[in-house]
Amino acid sequence: VGVSFLMIKLARRFPKTVAFGLSGASAFLAIVLVTNVFEL
């Protein structure tokens, strides 16, 4: 709960930075998933 509250405060202060971080994290997760699938 505390982490999500901090994320909301950060999102209100730095919307561009949070959006960039979320898109980067989701892209990283997608790459990891794809590489795991191809290794199988």
Domain count, the chain: 1
Domain of 11, in residue numbers = 2-39
pLDDT of residue 39: 82
Instruction: Say if CB 10 and CB 18 are below 8 A apart.
Output: yes
Q: Which residue type occupies 36?
A: N
pLDDT in tens, the chain (40 residues): 678 888 788 888 888 888 888 888 999 999 999 999 988 7
pLDDT of residue 28: 93
pLDDT of residue 19: 84
pLDDT of residue 31: 92
pLDDT of residue 20: 87
**Chain centre distance of CA 5:** 16
